Amino acid sequence: MKAAAPHIHDLGLAEYRTVWQRMQNFTATRQPDTTDEIWFVQHPPVFTQGVGGRSEHILDPGDIPVIATDRGGQVTYHGPGQWVAYVLLDLRRLGLNVRTLVRRLEDSVITLLETRGIQAGTRADAPGVYVNGAKIASLGLRVTRGCSYHGLALNVDMDLTPFTRINPCGYAGQPVTQLSALATDISMAQVRQALEQNLLDVMYSDRIA
């Protein structure tokens, strides 16, 4: 069955817990014919801890809240200047498994960086996208009833200092970078548009009815 083009929503700056609960509700109530959605959002400063997270990876949160969430993975940081793309997809309808979904999310970021002359890659032991060993995008997903939520976070032009208060994604000393440190003339709007198009290309280019 061909998939309809997803609905795209820009949520602006929104609290993490509110958006998380909306994702849960959407996924719990969706039907076989529910159209997929992709949500773009920036969050106020927050650390999120995945279901496999260990408290020792949160070194010094200070006044930044820590939220235990239901995505996979360890601890990461979200803040203004980072685009988060939440992918609320019917994987069965798209013919995807979790591993393929992860790879396509990574590919959407790698392609975006390549168009700006930045060579990026992945690691077999740690999902995400890396530039010269530094992490620029993190991934975390939840799949229930064959449908996904959560997604990817791409560092664009943000304060990276909070990453020093954690072991990013559970790796002590993991360096972190962002697009504004690697390329000039970067705007949040341009990155948002490019990331949306790349996600549509890798997920739907041959599947839209």
Distance CA(96)–CA(103), nearest Å, equals 10
Query: Is 147 an annotated catalytic residue?
Result: no
* CA 160 to the chain's CA centroid: 16
Closest CA to 187 of 77, 65, 83, 41: 83
Residue 73, φ and ψ in degrees, nearest 5: 95, -175
Q: Name the active-site residue from 160, 169, 176, 191.
A: 169
Distance CA(175)–CA(20), nearest Å, equals 27
Closest CA to 192 of 7, 71, 42: 42
Which of the residues are catalytic? 169
